[in-house]
Structures are given as structure tokens and as C-alpha cells.
Amino acid sequence: MAQGQDSKFKWIGNTVSTVMTSTDHDVKTFYLYNVGSGKYLNTGSYWGTSISAFKVGMPLVITKNANGTYKIQGPISTESGKYLGFPSPGASDGEKQFDWDRIYCDRGVKTPDQDHCDWVITDVSRNGKTYYTLYIDNGTNSVIGDKRYLSVTTNADTKRNEINYPTSVNTTDENCLWQIVTLKDLKDAFKEQFASNETPADATFLIADQNFDISNADVVKWVRTGLTSKENVGAYAHAFSPEVSYSFFVGNRGIMADKYQRHYGKYWIGSIRNVGHNENANGTMTQSVKTLKKGWYRVSCDGFYNADNGSDISASLFAKVQNSNDGKSNVSTTLNYLYGEISYSVDDLTKTSTKHNGLDINDISPYIKAAQLFEKNTYNNSILVYVPNDGDILDIGIKVENSTGDLDWTAFDNFQLQYCGNNDMILDEAQTSVDYMEKQTNPNNAYTLILKRTMTPGLWNSITLPVSLTAAQFKTAFGDQAKLSKLKGQDESIPSRIDFETVSLTNDDDVVIEPSRLYIMKPTRNANVTDGSYSKIIETGNTITVQAPYYTINNVTLKTAPTATFKENTKISTTVDQKLQFCGTQIKQTTNIVPANSYVLGAKDGKWYFTQHPLPINGFRCWIATSSDAQAKTISFFIDGVEEGYTTAIDQNVINTSEILSGTVYNINGQVVRRNATSVEGLPKGIYIMNNKKYIVK
């Protein structure tokens, strides 16, 4: 029997004999899970075929040799082989040494007598869980000979962890402990209701070639429409040509088995380029994924797009359930825009190597640079989509529109899929009582949140919620480059200044919004559901319906019902009563609850307004009460010490909506650095021009 998770949602593990002798495909197929890092064995190091540890694993099968050792086979097969093992000993000079000091996934066929592919797997189970250590005897002719165990490096600053190969291990070190997790285990983790401290079930195994691995045969399952490409070139069976004739490309620019690929083989990504072919640069790349259960799925990828001068290109990540017109089952989001880290020409995108003319390893292609950015967890994009029936087909992919510039480029990698269950919760800014929240309270369960809170992307909005959100949840809903700040107070040295401080969104697991706390935020995307309505039965005879647009956020828990209104502790100020107080409401207030002499953010323009009279306000909003108009026209607002605006506008010139929506940003040399801009945030320090006005990024 497959062994799933314990009460703390940790894998229990399976025995080698279970997966080796089973006739059930879902049990025979397994993944190696590293206990210490919490990641799975996968490819992604030298040549792109050596192993690393990653959030997503590669499927494996195992067979037993006559001498009691084992062979482990993954999904990659080349002329060199199909098993996990050390290559035959080769050169020991500095340039090639790394070639021989690591496990590859394609060994044991071309030179079976020289490769080392025989695994010794030792059971070190304890506390009711099945753990193993794994090693290969790499002989005496290799630089790293003798027994070499699998162990994962720690403190990785990228998405991947490298593998260590020590000669001995201490089983108290969890970085050398591995568990066998079957495909059945992964499927069994799909359930309608997740606990509040449980993560969504990984469903990435349903996507073929989700990481655009080097020469992966499943790349053909990414179907292109309106794009041109040429496959099966160079030394790799499934390599694409980067030549100027083609708009779709998978790779790092090299197509030969040479030094370039040795160093950069792990940096294969997908791309849609214009390179002078407007008629073939607009279209879609789609994979049809057969889902397992109805419910909410989170679709994500790394990706960005960049526009040439004069081009209005847009690129989006989409997820659409076949044969459904429901808004929540047909969603998309615009990809992040490239912020200028990569400069390139058409030649940079299209030149390639031949057998006799390899690429210079110091000439790092734009594709490699993009992959390196992706590894640092920048440019992530994600959406939630609802699948209404078990087994529905979900189309996921990238769409490019309005590409007219030679240098238009869309890059993408690392598609992932998570199943978030089939239970929901609704929060509506128009509700006038917290009763509906009380009836949805459950501290033990996690739900997909349907959030109706009207906001304008690119502008500052106030926000308070009765639930907590992690950085990952916040960025999924409001954009990877969204901003979040909290009130610090009136500046001690400059009475006319109100200070906010940024809430860091760097660590995905950090809680960045706490229940019934008060913040300001700047989303960078629209609500992900833009059509239709959503209804939830709160109790018999009580159904709440919200109209799109609305946000969806996975794995949210409403632990307790909030009070309708609340206030932060007062902060010292120079107002008449010497108080500055951040206040908020979780429900719509139809009476004039916001007092005169308060600061509120305008719903349509993101400007700070000083109220002359008491006002009503919708739910999930905040205001700053002062009880004085003495300094209303001289107050300015700062975030992290940088001035953001005066009482009339937190973003100064940037805040004018009529200008923002069509803004093109130029550097001082007249080069376009961003199109359709809503702000200059995220750009490197410097001076920029937008709509004939100057902006300084400090």
C-alpha cells in the first residue's frame, strides 16, 4: 500500500519492495523526496541532465540487480543511457572536472562497463516513517571515487539546491535522508477540504515538460498556434532552432553538445520572439491538462515580456476549462514586464552554434540571463481557476498579442499546478454586518477566498481584512510586484510628515497581512476573475452573490469573526488633540463613520483626501483620523523615507489616472523602458520621462 501523510501532513514514505513489485502504475512510479530540504530529486544542473533538488520531482522507476543493488530510471533517455549514475571517468583538468563529479540521468547504455549506475539503498527508518540513504560506489579511477552518497546542500539562494556527494553520512542529518513518495501518494493528497496548516496538493505531475528540460520529448505537448518553430536540430533530438526565421524557441541558444551546453544546459526556457515576423509572433502556446478532481487549481509560471519601441505587445498566462464559459473557469493575467535587467539585440536572440563553431561561454545569451532571474524567484506569475467537474480538461499556457516590434520577447519557464480543494469563503465589501463572516468561521480549515474589494491597479489603496495572508498569497492575488505598507506614524522631527514603512514580500511563507490590521497597498494587476458572478450559500435562505471583478486567493483561514470597526493605538502627532489614529472597517458603513479632519485614499485616483465632513465608507478600508485641520494642506506622505506625495496625491504626477493608463516610460536617452505603465516603481535608480513629465527613482 502507498503511504501518504501523517497528522502533520508530512510524508510517511514507502518501501523499495512496495514500488518495485507493484503492478499498479501509480505505485510503481515514484519520486525521491529529500527530508531536510523539503524538495524532490530532479534534473537541472550541469548539461541539464545532472541532478539537483527542486520543488517538483521527476518520476522514477526502480529495478533490482542480481547482486542486490538497484538501477533507477528517470524520464530522460539519450544515446548515453537512461539510468541515474556517475559517468565513466574522464579528464580531471579544471575545465571538465565538473563533468565527472556528479550524477546524471542518462547513463549506462553507451558505456555500461564504465558508467557507475548500481545503487546501494539502506533502510534507516524510524518513528513510524520510512527513510533511506542512497550511494553509488564510484570506483577508484574517478577524482571523487569510492562510496558517494546523495545529500542536498542547504541555504540555497535559488529555487534549486545542488547535490553533495560525501563519502559518509550521519543519519541525524536530514539532508541525506530520502523518502519514496509514489504517484498514488500525490494523487491521494487531492481532497476537497484542506486543513488550515496544510499546503495545497502538488499537481504539477499532470503537466508534461513543465520546466522545458533539455531535449525533453514531451515538449511536443505544448501546442503552438500562430507561431513558427523548427525542432530536431543540432546534437539534441528535441532541440529548437533559434534562427531568425522562427518565433517559438525552447533552449538556451546552443544546440550542440559542447562546452556551452556543459555550462548552461540547465538554463533551457521557452520563448516567443518577434525578430521581424509580425505575422508569426502573435499566438498561443497551450497544453491541455486532464485534471483529477473538481475544485480550485493554482496555475503558476515564471515569465515576463518586453516591448520594442513602438510596439503594444501584451503577454498573458491563461487557464481555461474546456467547454466552460464561466468567468472563474476562464482566467488570465498579464505577465510581469521586464524591468530592464537584460539588454539584447535580434542577433543575441537568434545566433547559434554549429559543430565547428561553438558559442563563447562568456557570451551569455538573453535566455540564460532570463533563466537566472527566474531561479532567484523573480518574475513569478500565478492565477486561480475553478474546475467544475472531475476529469475536466484544463488548457494552460501563454498568449501573445499585438506584437509588432523586432525586439518583442516573451520568456517563460517552470509551470506548476496545485490543487487547493473545493471549499470556498466569501468576503464582500458591500455587506453591512459581520454576521456572514461569523457563519464562515472555522480555525481548522483552509478555503479559497472570493474577495470582492474594488481596487485600481497602479494606485495606492487602503486595505484591511479579517484573515491573514502570506507573501505568496498576496502576490498571487495582487501581482508579483505589488506593494504593501503599514503606518509608522508622524515623523518625530518633521511634524508635517506622515511615515509609512514597507512590508517585505521577499519570503513567500511570511505572514504579511494580519487579521484586522491596517495597511495601504498598490496592486499591479486587476482582479483575476473579470466576468460573471459568484454565489455562496451562507445558510438556508441566505445567499451572498458578488459580481466580477473579484479576487481569488487560495488556502485562507477565517479563524474568528472580526469586530466591524477597529483602531490602531494612537500615535503622537501635532494635531489639536495630539493624536494620529489609523482606523478601519470590515463592513460597509452606510452612516457617516469617517469623521471630518481625516485622511482617506480616493477610490478612483489613489489620492489622499482631507475630509471636510463625515463620510460613509465601504468594507475592507481604512482612514487616518486627526481631529484637526490645522495642517491639512501641508501634510506629506513618505514610504521608507521616500516622499510619495502631499495631501492631495500620494503619488504626485504618477497618480493621474488619465495619464497612467497609457503611459510610456523613457530613460533620459529617449529609449523606451516600459509601456502601458502605471508607475515607475521597480525601475533602477535614475531619471525617467512619462507623459512629458520627469520622475526620479531614488
* CATH code of the domain covering residue 302: 2.60.120.260
Q: Are residues 437 and 335 in the same domain?
A: no
Tell me the pLDDT band of 345, cut-offs 50, 70 and 90: very high
Residue 527 falls within a domain, yes or no?
yes
In the predicted model, is pLDDT for residue 634 greater than 60? Answer: no
pLDDT at 395: 99
Coil, helix or strand at residue 204:
helix
Q: Residues 412-465: pLDDT tens digits?
A: 999 999 999 999 999 999 999 999 999 999 999 999 999 999 998 989 999 999
Residue 615 falls within a domain, yes or no?
no
Coil, helix or strand at residue 27:
helix
The residues near 23 (Cβ < 8 Å, ≥ 6 apart) are none
Question: What is the torsional sign of CA 644, 650, 653, 655?
Answer: positive
Q: Are residues 306 and 445 in the same domain?
A: no
Q: Are residues 168 and 251 in the same domain?
A: no
Owner of C-alpha cell 482566467: 331
d(CA 285, CA 281): 11
Q: Residues 20-58: pLDDT tens digits?
A: 999 999 999 999 999 999 999 998 777 778 899 999 999
Question: At residue 322, what is the residue type?
Answer: Q
CA dihedral 291, 297, 298, 302 (to 10 degrees): 20
Final residue of a domain: which of 158, 186, 214? 186
pLDDT at 179: 98
d(CA 521, CA 1): 49
Final residue of a domain: which of 419, 453, 469? 419
The residues near 256 (Cβ < 8 Å, ≥ 6 apart) are 234, 235, 353, 354, 355, 358
Q: Residues 367-378: pLDDT tens digits?
A: 999 999 998 888
Q: Are residues 161 and 300 in the same domain?
A: no
Phi-psi region of 578 (alpha: psi -120 to 50; beta: other; left: phi over 0): left
In the predicted model, is pLDDT for residue 2 greater than 80? Answer: no
Q: Residues 81-134: pLDDT tens digits?
A: 899 999 877 655 555 666 678 899 888 888 777 788 999 999 999 999 999 999
- The model's pTM is 0.85
Compute the mean pLDDT over every residue in the chain, rounded to the nearest whole number. 87
The residues near 363 (Cβ < 8 Å, ≥ 6 apart) are none
pLDDT at 649: 31
d(CA 76, CA 215): 8
Tell me the pLDDT band of 689, cut-offs 50, 70 and 90: confident
In the predicted model, is pLDDT for residue 687 greater than 80? Answer: no
Among 620, 251, 614, residue whose Cα is nearest residue 411? 251
Average pLDDT over residues 253-271: 86
Q: Are residues 444 and 337 in the same domain?
A: no
Q: What is the full DSSP assignment across 241-278?
A: P-STT-SEEEESS--SSSHHHHHHTT--EEEEE-TT-G
Q: Are residues 34 and 177 in the same domain?
A: yes
Domains of the chain: total: 4
In the predicted model, is pLDDT for residue 578 greater than 60? Answer: no
Q: Are residues 164 and 51 in the same domain?
A: yes
Residue 446 falls within a domain, yes or no?
yes
In the predicted model, is pLDDT for residue 662 greater than 60? Answer: no
Q: Which CATH number do you get for residue 50?
A: 2.80.10.50
Residue 79 falls within a domain, yes or no?
yes
Among 222, 200, 198, 191, residue whose Cα is nearest residue 292? 191
Residue 641 falls within a domain, yes or no?
no
What percentage of the chain carries pLDDT values higher than 70?
89
Among 385, 415, 26, residue whose Cα is nearest residue 207? 415
Neighbours of 668 (CB within 10 A): 10
Q: Are residues 233 and 115 in the same domain?
A: no
Q: Are residues 265 and 322 in the same domain?
A: yes
Question: What is the torsional sign of CA 646, 651, 657, 658?
Answer: positive
Q: Are residues 146 and 208 in the same domain?
A: no
pLDDT at 670: 60
Residues 403/281, Cβ–Cβ less than 8 Å: yes
Average pLDDT over residues 313-331: 97
Residue 378 falls within a domain, yes or no?
yes
Please give the grid coordinates belonging to residue 625: 483620523
Residue 207 falls within a domain, yes or no?
yes
Q: Which of 95-104, 537-546, 623-632 has the lowest mean pLDDT?
A: 623-632
Helix, strand, coil in percent for the chain, rounding step 5: 10, 40, 50
Residue 106 falls within a domain, yes or no?
yes
Among 352, 272, 264, 280, residue whose Cα is nearest residue 307? 272
Q: Are residues 387 and 532 in the same domain?
A: no
What percentage of the chain carries pLDDT values higher than 90?
60
d(CA 424, CA 562): 18
For residue 92, what are the CA distances in angstroms to 45, 80, 88, 103, 361?
Answer: 19, 20, 12, 16, 20
Q: Are residues 223 and 123 in the same domain?
A: no
Range of the domain at 38: 16-186
d(CA 275, CA 184): 45
Q: What is the full DSSP assignment across 463-475?
A: E--SS-EEHHHHH
Final residue of a domain: which of 494, 521, 556? 556
Average pLDDT over residues 238-263: 88
